[in-house]
Amino acid sequence: MRIKICGITNLEQGRAIAQLGATALGFICVRKSPRYLLPETIGAITSNLPPTVSRIGVFANTDLPEIISIVQQTQLTGVQLHGLESPQFCQQLRSQLPDVELIKAIAVKTSDSLDQTKIYADVVDTFLFDAYAPQQLGGTGKTFNWELLKGFTSPRPWFLAGGLNPNNIQRALKMTQPDGIDLSSGVEQSPGNKDLHLVANLFKVIWKKEYEL
């Protein structure tokens, strides 16, 4: 299972989280986010991470040339789209960055929200299911109704996101059985400042659960 810790803002924490077992780190490229980083800052971090760790840039309604430029500047291995990007936009991005993983975030409000996977399945590599919030594109720190995922089969591998933390991760994994999980505020002291004790506890809980299966 992939484990992505998002909203990394400094190299020391990024390295420590990778050493604890994260398979992917996320970097926020949305200017209005409190976790936003300039491309040069992201590049300074990604260039000093283990090559085995995926480096995902999170974008929302960003112009295609800007995404491409940031990816080229920062050595990102993946692009996560959190806005209203169309399948056509995803196809254009995929054609420009064929070696970069393309992740489409879907805000899950009702079971109908999951129907979006059908129209994006051919143009993205991975989905991320997050909590719906009318005024936010992500990072709400709130869960959604995981019952909506029962019996759902995604056409692509997918991450579960939205309000996950060491206290609820076992229940989340048992109910939804995702291909990966994505956490940010659930392992933070404040926006962008990760709590390494919470991250370590997260991995202890996950490994214990995996050993029990």
Annotated catalytic residues are 6, 130
Q: Report how far residue 73's alpha carbon sits from residue 124's, in angstroms, rounded to the nearest whole number.
A: 22
Answer whether 166's CB lies under 8 Å from 201's CB. yes
Q: Report how far residue 128's alpha carbon sits from residue 5's, in angstroms, rounded to the nearest whole number.
A: 13
Angle at 173 between CA 130 and CA 208, to 5 degrees: 135
Q: In this structure, what are the phi and psi dihedrals at residue 74, rounded to the nearest 5 degrees?
A: -115, 0
Q: Report how far residue 135's alpha carbon sits from residue 69's, in angstroms, rounded to the nearest whole number.
A: 28
Rg (CA), the chain: 16
Torsion of CA 212, 158, 111, 148, to 10 degrees: 10
* Residue 36 DSSP class: B
